[in-house]
Structure 1
Amino acid sequence: MPGKIVSPEEWLTARKDLLEKEKAATKASDQFTTAFKGFPMVKLAKQYTFDGPNGKITLPDLFEGRKQLIVYHFMLGPDDAAGCEGCSFLTDNLPSSLAHLHARNTSLVLISRAPLEKIESFKKRMGWNFPWYSSSESDFNYDFHATLDGSNSSTQYNFKESAPDVKGERPGMSIFYKEGAELYHSYSAYSRGLDHLLVTYRLLDLTPLGRQDKEVGGWKLHDEYTEEEKKEGAV
Protein backbone atom coordinates (compact mmCIF):
# COMPACT_ATOMS: atom_id res chain seq x y z
CA MET A 1 0.00 0.00 0.00
CA PRO A 2 1.79 3.16 -1.17
CA GLY A 3 -0.28 5.67 0.83
CA LYS A 4 -1.83 6.08 4.26
CA ILE A 5 -5.57 5.39 4.53
CA VAL A 6 -7.36 8.41 6.05
CA SER A 7 -10.83 9.86 6.44
CA PRO A 8 -12.33 12.12 3.74
CA GLU A 9 -11.77 15.12 6.02
CA GLU A 10 -8.07 14.28 6.51
CA TRP A 11 -7.69 13.69 2.76
CA LEU A 12 -9.17 17.12 2.01
CA THR A 13 -6.77 18.80 4.45
CA ALA A 14 -3.80 17.04 2.83
CA ARG A 15 -5.06 17.90 -0.64
CA LYS A 16 -5.37 21.59 0.22
CA ASP A 17 -1.81 21.55 1.57
CA LEU A 18 -0.60 19.92 -1.65
CA LEU A 19 -2.54 22.51 -3.67
CA GLU A 20 -0.43 25.28 -2.16
CA LYS A 21 2.71 23.43 -3.24
CA GLU A 22 1.24 22.98 -6.73
CA LYS A 23 0.51 26.70 -6.97
CA ALA A 24 4.08 27.54 -5.93
CA ALA A 25 5.47 25.09 -8.50
CA THR A 26 3.23 26.55 -11.22
CA LYS A 27 4.34 30.07 -10.36
CA ALA A 28 8.01 29.01 -10.50
CA SER A 29 7.38 27.33 -13.85
CA ASP A 30 5.73 30.49 -15.19
CA GLN A 31 8.73 32.54 -14.11
CA PHE A 32 11.08 30.10 -15.83
CA THR A 33 9.03 30.21 -19.04
CA THR A 34 9.06 34.01 -19.01
CA ALA A 35 12.87 33.90 -19.09
CA PHE A 36 12.74 32.53 -22.64
CA LYS A 37 11.15 35.71 -23.97
CA GLY A 38 13.92 38.03 -25.06
CA PHE A 39 16.59 35.39 -24.37
CA PRO A 40 19.77 36.12 -26.39
CA MET A 41 20.33 34.41 -29.74
CA VAL A 42 23.40 33.63 -31.84
CA LYS A 43 23.41 34.28 -35.58
CA LEU A 44 24.35 31.24 -37.65
CA ALA A 45 26.87 31.67 -40.43
CA LYS A 46 27.59 28.01 -41.18
CA GLN A 47 25.56 26.10 -43.75
CA TYR A 48 24.16 22.65 -42.99
CA THR A 49 22.72 20.06 -45.36
CA PHE A 50 20.66 17.01 -44.43
CA ASP A 51 19.36 13.92 -46.19
CA GLY A 52 15.58 13.62 -46.30
CA PRO A 53 12.98 11.46 -48.06
CA ASN A 54 12.97 13.89 -50.99
CA GLY A 55 16.73 14.35 -51.23
CA LYS A 56 19.11 16.98 -49.87
CA ILE A 57 17.64 19.70 -47.71
CA THR A 58 19.13 22.69 -45.88
CA LEU A 59 18.55 23.98 -42.37
CA PRO A 60 16.37 26.88 -43.62
CA ASP A 61 14.26 24.33 -45.52
CA LEU A 62 13.47 22.53 -42.27
CA PHE A 63 11.48 25.54 -41.09
CA GLU A 64 8.93 24.86 -43.87
CA GLY A 65 8.18 28.57 -44.15
CA ARG A 66 7.67 29.06 -40.41
CA LYS A 67 9.67 31.34 -38.11
CA GLN A 68 10.68 28.78 -35.47
CA LEU A 69 12.24 25.32 -35.58
CA ILE A 70 12.55 22.73 -32.80
CA VAL A 71 15.16 20.03 -33.43
CA TYR A 72 15.33 16.89 -31.31
CA HIS A 73 18.77 15.28 -31.55
CA PHE A 74 17.77 11.60 -31.58
CA MET A 75 20.46 9.09 -30.59
CA LEU A 76 20.69 6.90 -33.67
CA GLY A 77 24.25 6.68 -34.91
CA PRO A 78 25.69 5.16 -38.09
CA ASP A 79 26.57 1.90 -36.32
CA ASP A 80 23.47 1.58 -34.11
CA ALA A 81 21.11 -1.31 -34.80
CA ALA A 82 18.12 0.56 -33.32
CA GLY A 83 17.26 3.89 -31.76
CA CYS A 84 18.05 4.73 -28.15
CA GLU A 85 15.35 3.58 -25.68
CA GLY A 86 15.42 6.92 -23.84
CA CYS A 87 15.14 8.96 -27.04
CA SER A 88 12.35 6.67 -28.22
CA PHE A 89 10.54 7.19 -24.91
CA LEU A 90 10.83 10.95 -25.33
CA THR A 91 9.67 10.78 -28.95
CA ASP A 92 6.64 8.77 -27.85
CA ASN A 93 5.83 11.73 -25.59
CA LEU A 94 5.94 14.32 -28.38
CA PRO A 95 2.55 15.54 -29.67
CA SER A 96 0.92 13.05 -32.03
CA SER A 97 -0.23 15.99 -34.15
CA LEU A 98 2.07 18.88 -35.02
CA ALA A 99 -0.87 21.03 -36.13
CA HIS A 100 -0.87 23.02 -32.88
CA LEU A 101 2.85 23.82 -33.22
CA HIS A 102 2.39 24.72 -36.87
CA ALA A 103 -0.44 27.07 -35.93
CA ARG A 104 2.07 28.87 -33.69
CA ASN A 105 4.61 29.36 -36.49
CA THR A 106 6.79 26.47 -35.26
CA SER A 107 8.12 23.34 -36.98
CA LEU A 108 9.52 20.26 -35.25
CA VAL A 109 11.94 17.69 -36.69
CA LEU A 110 14.16 14.85 -35.52
CA ILE A 111 17.79 14.66 -36.64
CA SER A 112 20.26 11.77 -36.30
CA ARG A 113 23.64 10.87 -37.72
CA ALA A 114 22.47 7.48 -38.98
CA PRO A 115 21.98 7.13 -42.75
CA LEU A 116 18.49 7.91 -43.97
CA GLU A 117 17.68 4.27 -44.79
CA LYS A 118 18.25 3.28 -41.15
CA ILE A 119 16.19 6.23 -39.92
CA GLU A 120 13.29 5.39 -42.23
CA SER A 121 13.36 1.74 -41.17
CA PHE A 122 13.27 2.53 -37.45
CA LYS A 123 10.68 5.27 -37.94
CA LYS A 124 8.41 2.77 -39.70
CA ARG A 125 8.93 0.22 -36.95
CA MET A 126 7.92 2.75 -34.28
CA GLY A 127 4.94 4.05 -36.27
CA TRP A 128 6.04 7.67 -36.04
CA ASN A 129 5.17 10.38 -38.55
CA PHE A 130 7.58 13.08 -37.39
CA PRO A 131 9.86 14.63 -40.04
CA TRP A 132 13.25 12.97 -39.48
CA TYR A 133 16.49 13.78 -41.28
CA SER A 134 20.04 12.47 -41.44
CA SER A 135 22.97 14.73 -40.62
CA SER A 136 25.51 12.06 -41.59
CA GLU A 137 27.32 14.33 -44.04
CA SER A 138 27.38 17.53 -41.98
CA ASP A 139 28.87 18.83 -38.71
CA PHE A 140 25.44 19.68 -37.32
CA ASN A 141 25.46 17.13 -34.48
CA TYR A 142 29.01 18.03 -33.50
CA ASP A 143 28.42 21.78 -33.59
CA PHE A 144 25.33 21.51 -31.37
CA HIS A 145 26.98 19.02 -28.99
CA ALA A 146 24.72 16.03 -29.66
CA THR A 147 27.70 13.90 -30.77
CA LEU A 148 30.92 13.79 -28.77
CA ASP A 149 34.17 13.21 -30.60
CA GLY A 150 37.45 14.80 -29.56
CA SER A 151 38.87 14.35 -33.05
CA ASN A 152 36.08 16.63 -34.28
CA SER A 153 36.63 19.18 -31.50
CA SER A 154 33.28 18.19 -30.00
CA THR A 155 33.87 17.48 -26.30
CA GLN A 156 31.22 19.60 -24.60
CA TYR A 157 27.95 18.13 -23.34
CA ASN A 158 25.31 19.85 -21.21
CA PHE A 159 27.59 22.92 -21.16
CA LYS A 160 30.48 21.07 -19.54
CA GLU A 161 33.65 19.62 -20.99
CA SER A 162 33.81 15.83 -21.25
CA ALA A 163 36.94 13.72 -21.37
CA PRO A 164 38.60 13.89 -24.81
CA ASP A 165 38.23 10.13 -25.27
CA VAL A 166 34.46 10.13 -24.66
CA LYS A 167 32.66 9.55 -27.94
CA GLY A 168 29.16 8.88 -29.21
CA GLU A 169 25.64 10.18 -29.55
CA ARG A 170 23.87 12.17 -26.84
CA PRO A 171 20.25 13.35 -26.51
CA GLY A 172 19.45 17.01 -26.87
CA MET A 173 17.10 19.63 -28.22
CA SER A 174 17.98 22.82 -30.08
CA ILE A 175 15.74 25.73 -31.00
CA PHE A 176 16.25 28.00 -34.00
CA TYR A 177 14.63 31.22 -35.18
CA LYS A 178 14.40 32.60 -38.71
CA GLU A 179 14.06 36.26 -39.58
CA GLY A 180 14.06 36.83 -43.32
CA ALA A 181 17.08 34.97 -44.70
CA GLU A 182 18.94 35.00 -41.37
CA LEU A 183 19.00 32.05 -38.94
CA TYR A 184 19.61 32.20 -35.20
CA HIS A 185 20.26 29.62 -32.48
CA SER A 186 18.17 30.53 -29.43
CA TYR A 187 18.28 27.56 -27.04
CA SER A 188 19.61 24.07 -26.42
CA ALA A 189 18.95 21.56 -23.63
CA TYR A 190 20.45 18.19 -22.78
CA SER A 191 20.22 15.35 -20.28
CA ARG A 192 17.77 16.11 -17.42
CA GLY A 193 16.99 19.41 -19.11
CA LEU A 194 14.67 17.39 -21.35
CA ASP A 195 12.67 15.85 -18.49
CA HIS A 196 9.86 18.41 -18.64
CA LEU A 197 8.98 17.10 -22.11
CA LEU A 198 8.09 13.66 -20.73
CA VAL A 199 4.30 13.74 -20.35
CA THR A 200 4.30 10.08 -19.24
CA TYR A 201 6.38 11.09 -16.20
CA ARG A 202 4.08 14.03 -15.50
CA LEU A 203 1.09 11.66 -15.46
CA LEU A 204 2.83 9.03 -13.34
CA ASP A 205 3.91 11.71 -10.86
CA LEU A 206 0.20 12.17 -10.02
CA THR A 207 -0.29 8.50 -9.12
CA PRO A 208 0.32 6.68 -5.80
CA LEU A 209 3.06 4.48 -7.29
CA GLY A 210 4.83 7.38 -9.03
CA ARG A 211 7.43 6.77 -11.75
CA GLN A 212 8.47 3.32 -10.49
CA ASP A 213 11.93 3.64 -12.07
CA LYS A 214 13.70 1.69 -9.30
CA GLU A 215 11.08 -1.06 -9.22
CA VAL A 216 10.61 -1.57 -12.94
CA GLY A 217 13.92 -0.36 -14.37
CA GLY A 218 14.54 1.44 -17.64
CA TRP A 219 12.14 2.07 -20.46
CA LYS A 220 11.80 -0.26 -23.44
CA LEU A 221 10.94 0.48 -27.04
CA HIS A 222 7.16 0.56 -27.06
CA ASP A 223 6.91 -2.54 -29.27
CA GLU A 224 9.07 -4.60 -26.89
CA TYR A 225 6.66 -4.72 -23.95
CA THR A 226 4.99 -8.10 -23.51
CA GLU A 227 1.21 -8.35 -23.28
CA GLU A 228 1.64 -9.39 -19.65
CA GLU A 229 3.66 -6.25 -18.87
CA LYS A 230 1.08 -4.02 -20.53
CA LYS A 231 -1.78 -5.78 -18.75
CA GLU A 232 -0.46 -6.08 -15.22
CA GLY A 233 2.75 -4.08 -15.11
CA ALA A 234 6.27 -5.35 -14.78
CA VAL A 235 6.12 -5.66 -10.99
Structure 2
Amino acid sequence: MCGISGEFRFDNQAADLAAVERITHHLAPRGPDAWGFHAQGPIALGHRRLKIMDLAEASGQPMIDPDLGLAMVFNGAIYNYPELRGELESLGYRFFSGGDTEVLLKGYHAWGADLLPRLNGMFAFAVWERDRQRLFLARDRLGIKPLYYSLDRSRLRFASSLPALLKGGDIASDLDPQALNFYLNFHAVVPAPHTLLEGVKKLPPATWMSVDLDGSCEQRTWWTLDYGPRPDERELTLDDWQER
Protein backbone atom coordinates (compact mmCIF):
# COMPACT_ATOMS: atom_id res chain seq x y z
CA MET A 1 0.00 0.00 0.00
CA CYS A 2 1.35 3.41 -1.00
CA GLY A 3 -0.06 6.93 -1.08
CA ILE A 4 -0.17 9.33 -4.02
CA SER A 5 -1.06 12.99 -4.27
CA GLY A 6 -0.75 15.96 -6.57
CA GLU A 7 -1.93 19.31 -7.82
CA PHE A 8 -2.33 20.55 -11.40
CA ARG A 9 -2.95 24.27 -11.94
CA PHE A 10 -4.57 25.73 -15.04
CA ASP A 11 -4.72 29.38 -13.97
CA ASN A 12 -1.17 30.33 -15.01
CA GLN A 13 0.06 29.80 -11.44
CA ALA A 14 2.70 27.41 -10.18
CA ALA A 15 1.46 24.35 -8.32
CA ASP A 16 1.29 24.71 -4.55
CA LEU A 17 4.03 22.32 -3.43
CA ALA A 18 3.45 23.15 0.24
CA ALA A 19 -0.16 21.95 -0.06
CA VAL A 20 0.97 18.74 -1.77
CA GLU A 21 3.54 18.19 0.98
CA ARG A 22 0.84 18.50 3.64
CA ILE A 23 -1.38 16.05 1.80
CA THR A 24 1.47 13.61 1.27
CA HIS A 25 2.67 13.65 4.85
CA HIS A 26 -0.87 12.80 5.98
CA LEU A 27 -0.54 9.66 3.84
CA ALA A 28 2.45 8.46 5.88
CA PRO A 29 0.63 5.39 7.30
CA ARG A 30 0.11 4.17 3.73
CA GLY A 31 3.82 4.46 2.91
CA PRO A 32 6.24 4.53 5.84
CA ASP A 33 9.39 3.51 3.95
CA ALA A 34 10.11 6.53 1.75
CA TRP A 35 8.62 9.67 0.29
CA GLY A 36 9.31 12.02 -2.58
CA PHE A 37 8.07 15.07 -4.47
CA HIS A 38 8.27 16.51 -7.96
CA ALA A 39 7.25 20.06 -8.86
CA GLN A 40 7.62 21.81 -12.19
CA GLY A 41 5.47 24.76 -13.22
CA PRO A 42 1.77 23.86 -13.01
CA ILE A 43 2.30 20.33 -11.64
CA ALA A 44 3.33 18.98 -8.25
CA LEU A 45 3.33 15.29 -7.35
CA GLY A 46 3.83 13.54 -4.03
CA HIS A 47 4.33 9.92 -3.01
CA ARG A 48 4.59 7.82 0.14
CA ARG A 49 6.16 4.43 -0.47
CA LEU A 50 5.68 1.02 1.07
CA LYS A 51 8.46 -1.17 -0.32
CA ILE A 52 7.11 -4.54 -1.39
CA MET A 53 7.88 -5.60 -4.96
CA ASP A 54 11.16 -3.81 -5.70
CA LEU A 55 13.14 -2.49 -2.73
CA ALA A 56 15.73 -0.61 -4.79
CA GLU A 57 15.93 3.17 -4.80
CA ALA A 58 15.66 3.05 -8.59
CA SER A 59 11.95 2.33 -8.16
CA GLY A 60 11.39 5.37 -5.96
CA GLN A 61 8.64 7.82 -6.78
CA PRO A 62 7.65 10.16 -8.23
CA MET A 63 9.30 8.32 -11.11
CA ILE A 64 10.56 10.74 -13.74
CA ASP A 65 11.82 9.95 -17.23
CA PRO A 66 13.14 13.17 -18.82
CA ASP A 67 13.71 11.45 -22.17
CA LEU A 68 10.07 10.40 -22.40
CA GLY A 69 8.80 13.60 -20.81
CA LEU A 70 6.79 11.73 -18.18
CA ALA A 71 6.48 11.83 -14.40
CA MET A 72 4.32 9.38 -12.48
CA VAL A 73 3.03 8.47 -9.03
CA PHE A 74 1.53 5.01 -8.60
CA ASN A 75 -0.18 3.03 -5.86
CA GLY A 76 -0.75 -0.67 -6.39
CA ALA A 77 0.76 -3.77 -7.92
CA ILE A 78 0.92 -4.94 -11.54
CA TYR A 79 1.11 -8.73 -11.48
CA ASN A 80 1.88 -9.27 -15.16
CA TYR A 81 4.64 -6.66 -15.33
CA PRO A 82 7.31 -9.20 -16.42
CA GLU A 83 5.30 -10.04 -19.55
CA LEU A 84 4.64 -6.37 -20.28
CA ARG A 85 8.30 -5.58 -19.77
CA GLY A 86 9.20 -8.21 -22.36
CA GLU A 87 6.81 -6.62 -24.86
CA LEU A 88 8.25 -3.18 -24.21
CA GLU A 89 11.83 -4.40 -24.55
CA SER A 90 10.91 -5.84 -27.94
CA LEU A 91 9.75 -2.33 -28.88
CA GLY A 92 13.14 -0.89 -27.94
CA TYR A 93 12.52 0.36 -24.41
CA ARG A 94 15.37 0.04 -21.90
CA PHE A 95 14.85 -0.46 -18.17
CA PHE A 96 16.89 0.70 -15.20
CA SER A 97 14.88 -0.89 -12.37
CA GLY A 98 13.38 -4.28 -11.66
CA GLY A 99 9.85 -3.49 -10.50
CA ASP A 100 6.45 -2.73 -11.94
CA THR A 101 6.59 1.06 -11.64
CA GLU A 102 8.92 1.65 -14.57
CA VAL A 103 6.96 -0.87 -16.64
CA LEU A 104 3.79 1.11 -15.97
CA LEU A 105 5.47 4.39 -16.90
CA LYS A 106 6.93 3.13 -20.16
CA GLY A 107 3.82 1.14 -20.96
CA TYR A 108 1.85 4.37 -20.79
CA HIS A 109 4.35 6.02 -23.12
CA ALA A 110 3.99 3.16 -25.59
CA TRP A 111 0.23 2.60 -25.51
CA GLY A 112 -1.41 5.51 -23.71
CA ALA A 113 -4.84 4.67 -22.30
CA ASP A 114 -4.79 1.42 -24.27
CA LEU A 115 -2.34 0.18 -21.65
CA LEU A 116 -5.13 -0.16 -19.09
CA PRO A 117 -6.86 -3.30 -20.47
CA ARG A 118 -3.43 -4.96 -20.63
CA LEU A 119 -2.88 -4.58 -16.89
CA ASN A 120 -3.49 -7.43 -14.48
CA GLY A 121 -3.44 -5.89 -11.04
CA MET A 122 -4.76 -3.24 -8.70
CA PHE A 123 -3.77 0.36 -9.21
CA ALA A 124 -4.40 4.06 -9.02
CA PHE A 125 -1.88 6.27 -10.77
CA ALA A 126 -1.30 9.70 -12.25
CA VAL A 127 1.00 10.50 -15.18
CA TRP A 128 2.14 14.01 -16.04
CA GLU A 129 2.86 14.49 -19.75
CA ARG A 130 5.36 17.32 -19.91
CA ASP A 131 5.17 18.01 -23.63
CA ARG A 132 1.38 17.91 -23.86
CA GLN A 133 0.96 19.61 -20.47
CA ARG A 134 -1.66 17.05 -19.56
CA LEU A 135 -2.39 15.01 -16.44
CA PHE A 136 -3.76 11.49 -16.83
CA LEU A 137 -5.27 9.55 -13.91
CA ALA A 138 -6.62 6.00 -13.86
CA ARG A 139 -8.06 3.41 -11.51
CA ASP A 140 -8.22 -0.39 -11.62
CA ARG A 141 -11.20 -2.45 -12.76
CA LEU A 142 -12.80 -2.99 -9.35
CA GLY A 143 -11.61 0.17 -7.64
CA ILE A 144 -9.41 -1.70 -5.17
CA LYS A 145 -7.03 1.25 -4.97
CA PRO A 146 -8.67 4.56 -4.01
CA LEU A 147 -8.36 7.90 -5.76
CA TYR A 148 -10.08 11.09 -4.56
CA TYR A 149 -9.96 14.46 -6.30
CA SER A 150 -11.16 18.03 -6.13
CA LEU A 151 -11.63 19.96 -9.37
CA ASP A 152 -12.50 23.63 -9.77
CA ARG A 153 -11.83 26.42 -12.28
CA SER A 154 -8.21 26.87 -11.29
CA ARG A 155 -6.83 23.49 -10.26
CA LEU A 156 -7.15 19.76 -9.77
CA ARG A 157 -5.94 18.12 -6.57
CA PHE A 158 -5.91 14.39 -5.90
CA ALA A 159 -4.93 11.97 -3.15
CA SER A 160 -5.29 8.38 -1.99
CA SER A 161 -7.57 9.36 0.88
CA LEU A 162 -10.20 12.01 1.50
CA PRO A 163 -8.82 13.17 4.88
CA ALA A 164 -5.39 13.64 3.33
CA LEU A 165 -6.83 15.63 0.43
CA LEU A 166 -8.48 18.03 2.85
CA LYS A 167 -5.09 18.77 4.43
CA GLY A 168 -4.23 20.78 1.34
CA GLY A 169 -6.88 23.34 2.30
CA ASP A 170 -9.29 25.45 0.23
CA ILE A 171 -11.71 22.61 -0.56
CA ALA A 172 -15.45 23.00 -0.04
CA SER A 173 -16.53 20.78 2.84
CA ASP A 174 -20.32 21.18 2.58
CA LEU A 175 -22.23 17.91 2.76
CA ASP A 176 -23.48 16.45 -0.51
CA PRO A 177 -27.21 15.74 0.12
CA GLN A 178 -27.38 13.04 -2.54
CA ALA A 179 -24.34 11.27 -1.10
CA LEU A 180 -25.81 11.52 2.38
CA ASN A 181 -28.98 9.86 1.09
CA PHE A 182 -26.87 7.02 -0.35
CA TYR A 183 -25.00 6.73 2.93
CA LEU A 184 -28.14 6.40 5.03
CA ASN A 185 -30.02 4.10 2.67
CA PHE A 186 -27.17 1.83 1.57
CA HIS A 187 -25.69 1.32 5.05
CA ALA A 188 -22.64 3.60 4.81
CA VAL A 189 -22.01 2.95 1.10
CA VAL A 190 -21.49 6.04 -1.07
CA PRO A 191 -21.05 5.03 -4.73
CA ALA A 192 -18.53 6.79 -6.93
CA PRO A 193 -18.18 9.50 -8.06
CA HIS A 194 -19.87 10.83 -4.92
CA THR A 195 -18.35 11.38 -1.51
CA LEU A 196 -20.02 12.89 1.53
CA LEU A 197 -18.45 16.24 0.61
CA GLU A 198 -19.62 18.32 -2.34
CA GLY A 199 -16.09 19.49 -3.07
CA VAL A 200 -14.54 16.02 -3.33
CA LYS A 201 -15.22 13.22 -5.80
CA LYS A 202 -14.02 9.65 -6.20
CA LEU A 203 -12.70 8.54 -9.57
CA PRO A 204 -14.97 5.57 -10.38
CA PRO A 205 -13.49 2.10 -10.81
CA ALA A 206 -12.30 1.21 -14.32
CA THR A 207 -12.22 4.88 -15.26
CA TRP A 208 -9.54 7.21 -16.56
CA MET A 209 -9.55 10.97 -16.48
CA SER A 210 -7.40 13.46 -18.37
CA VAL A 211 -7.07 17.16 -17.62
CA ASP A 212 -5.44 19.65 -19.99
CA LEU A 213 -3.72 22.95 -19.28
CA ASP A 214 -6.87 24.89 -20.21
CA GLY A 215 -8.81 23.02 -17.51
CA SER A 216 -10.79 20.85 -19.89
CA CYS A 217 -11.50 17.44 -18.42
CA GLU A 218 -12.45 14.12 -19.98
CA GLN A 219 -13.50 10.90 -18.24
CA ARG A 220 -14.02 7.49 -19.81
CA THR A 221 -14.87 4.04 -18.55
CA TRP A 222 -12.27 1.64 -19.91
CA TRP A 223 -13.79 -1.66 -18.73
CA THR A 224 -17.25 -2.98 -17.86
CA LEU A 225 -18.33 -6.28 -16.37
CA ASP A 226 -20.56 -8.26 -18.71
CA TYR A 227 -23.49 -9.54 -16.67
CA GLY A 228 -25.24 -11.13 -19.63
CA PRO A 229 -25.25 -14.81 -20.64
CA ARG A 230 -22.37 -16.25 -22.61
CA PRO A 231 -22.97 -16.42 -26.37
CA ASP A 232 -23.18 -20.23 -26.24
CA GLU A 233 -25.96 -20.00 -23.63
CA ARG A 234 -28.28 -17.58 -25.40
CA GLU A 235 -30.26 -20.27 -27.25
CA LEU A 236 -30.65 -22.67 -24.32
CA THR A 237 -34.21 -23.66 -23.45
CA LEU A 238 -35.63 -24.30 -19.98
CA ASP A 239 -35.18 -28.05 -20.53
CA ASP A 240 -31.53 -27.46 -21.43
CA TRP A 241 -30.97 -25.54 -18.20
CA GLN A 242 -32.69 -28.23 -16.15
CA GLU A 243 -30.44 -30.90 -17.68
CA ARG A 244 -27.43 -28.87 -16.61
Specify the TM-score bucket, using the shorter chain as the normaliser: under 0.3
TM-score (norm 2): 0.26
Q: Structure with the greater relative contact order (CA < 8 A, sep ≥ 6): 1 or 2? A: 1
Going by fraction, where is helix more abundant, 1 or 2?
A: 1
Structure exhibiting the larger radius of gyration computed from Cα positions: 1
Going by fraction, where is strand more abundant, 1 or 2?
A: 2
